[in-house]
Amino acid sequence: MNPLLLVKKEPYKLYINGEFVASESGKTFEVINPVDNQPFASAYKGGIADVKKAIIAARHAFDEGPWSKMSAKERSKLLLKAGQILSRRVEEFATIETLECGKLYMSALYYEAQMSIDAFEYFAGKARCLEGKVVPCDTGHLNYVLWQPCGVVGEILPWNGPFMMGCQKVCAILAAGNTVVIKPSSWASLSMLLIAEVFHEAGFPAGVVNVVTGPGSEVGDELVRNPLVDMVSMTGGTEVGKHIIGSSKDTVKDIALELGGKSPNIVFNDINVDEIVQWAKFGFTNNAGQVCVSGTRLILHRNIYEEFIGKLKIECEKMIPGNGFDYEKGVNFSTLISKEHASNVWNYIKKGKSEGARVIMGGEPYDDPELAKGNFVPPTIFADVTRDMTIFQEEIFGPVLCITPFETEEEAIEIANATKYGLAGAVFSANIKRALRVAQNIKGGQIYVNTYFSKGMIESPGTGWKESGIGVAGIQKYMISKTVFVDMQDGSIPPA
CATH code of residue 390: 3.40.309.10
Digit-by-digit pLDDT tens for the chain (496 residues) are 799 999 999 999 999 999 999 999 999 999 999 999 999 999 999 999 999 999 999 999 999 999 999 999 999 999 999 999 999 999 999 999 999 999 999 999 999 999 999 999 999 999 999 999 999 999 999 999 999 999 999 999 999 999 999 999 999 999 999 999 999 999 999 999 999 999 999 999 999 999 999 999 999 999 999 999 999 999 999 999 999 999 999 999 999 999 999 999 999 999 999 999 999 999 999 999 999 999 999 999 999 999 999 999 999 999 999 999 999 999 999 999 999 999 999 999 999 999 999 999 999 999 999 999 999 999 999 999 999 999 999 999 999 999 999 999 999 999 999 999 999 999 999 999 999 999 999 999 999 999 999 999 999 999 999 999 998 788 999 999 999 999 999 999 998 8
Q: Are residues 216 and 114 in the same domain?
A: yes
Q: How many residues does the chain have?
A: 496
Total of domains in the chain: 2
Q: Are residues 228 and 276 in the same domain?
A: no
Q: Cβ–Cβ contacts within 10 Å for residue 152, how many?
A: 30
Strand partners, 142: 486
Q: Are residues 241 and 329 in the same domain?
A: no
Q: Are residues 181 and 275 in the same domain?
A: no
Q: pTM of the predicted model, to two decimals?
A: 0.97
**51 domain-assigned:** yes
Backbone torsions φ then ψ of 277, nearest 5 degrees: -55, -40
Q: Are residues 198 and 325 in the same domain?
A: no
Q: Are residues 438 and 405 in the same domain?
A: yes
Angle between helices 72-88 and 113-126 (to 10 degrees): 170
Instruction: Report the largest interatomic distance among the alpha carbons of the chain, rounded to a whole angstrom.
Output: 87
Decide if 421 contacts 402 (C-beta within 8 A): no
List b or e across 364-378, with b for residues whose CB sees 16 or more CB atoms inside 10 angstroms. eeeeeeebeebbbbb
Q: Are residues 389 and 441 in the same domain?
A: yes
Separation of alpha carbons 225 and 156, rounded Å = 13
CA 5 to chain centre: 28
Separation of alpha carbons 463 and 164, rounded Å = 18
The letter for the amino acid at 263 is: S
Note down the domain range covering 223.
3-259+471-482
Q: Are residues 213 and 80 in the same domain?
A: yes
**77 domain-assigned:** yes
**Which residues are catalytically annotated?**
258, 292
**255 domain-assigned:** yes
Handedness of CA 220, 225, 226, 228 (dihedral sign): positive
Angstrom distances, CA of residue 280 to CA of 7, 118, 276, 346, 404: 36, 28, 6, 21, 13
Separation of alpha carbons 23 and 43, rounded Å = 9
